[in-house]
Amino acid sequence: MIRPMKKLSIYCLSTLLVLIICIQNANSQLSADVQSAEQTFAFIATTLRNVQVSGEIDQSLNLDETDESRFINILQEFYEQFRFGFSPDSPLCNYYRDPNNGIFDIEQRAELSMQFLPEPDVRVERFVRIDKEFRAVITVEFGSDFAQRVEQMKQSAVSFEYLPTREFNAAEAASFADSACR
């Protein structure tokens, strides 16, 4: 017969184990969501850059002219949503480029300018929400087959621009500010 105290200990231990597993699963899901947001942003930035340079969109998307124009407009809208707070005309960039702040070295100026952004967990939550909205809009506007093609293409998207999903050290902050404030 198991004594009541031992029963309670076993119950507490099993509850703690379940809680640890739930936390690990939540962290794993958050990591996947962040990766998806980063890939979506890279896809959007790269696609818009390619359109700007060549005037054309990737032919594998199989869009007619009307859909192509609508897709580019959606990409621009979501690009601006992702970059809100760190676009070239943002307070972050204005501070970073302000000649009056030349008394600081580049890394100090970059670290100070990063203070204009919300905390990383708030930024990540926003980026994940924007990513989900983008995927939903693409599915509604162009269908699930098209959305699946975009999901496949974003897996290999590479961009010099990236999302500030974590705290940066001084050198990383300078690199990010240089990239974001072009």
pLDDT given at position 5: 58
SS3 (DSSP) at 161: coil
Compute the distance between CA of residue 162 and CA of residue 79 in angstroms, rounded to an integer.
11
Distances (CA, A) of 91 to 61, 62, 115, 121, 135: 36, 39, 10, 20, 29
Indicate the helix (H) or strand (E) that contains 97.
helix 91-97
DSSP output for 51-80: HHHHS---GGG---HHHHHHHHHHHHHHHH
In a structure prediction context, what are the per-residue pLDDT tens digits for the chain, which is 182 residues long? 556 555 555 555 555 444 444 444 444 455 889 999 999 999 999 999 999 999 888 888 888 888 999 999 999 999 999 999 999 999 999 999 999 998 999 999 999 999 999 999 999 999 999 999 999 999 999 999 999 999 999 999 988 899 999 999 999 999 999 999 98
Compute the distance between CA of residue 109 and CA of residue 138 in angstroms, rounded to an integer.
38
Residue type, 160: F
Q: Whole-prediction pTM value? A: 0.81
* Residue in 173, 161, 146 with CA at minimum distance from that of residue 43: 161
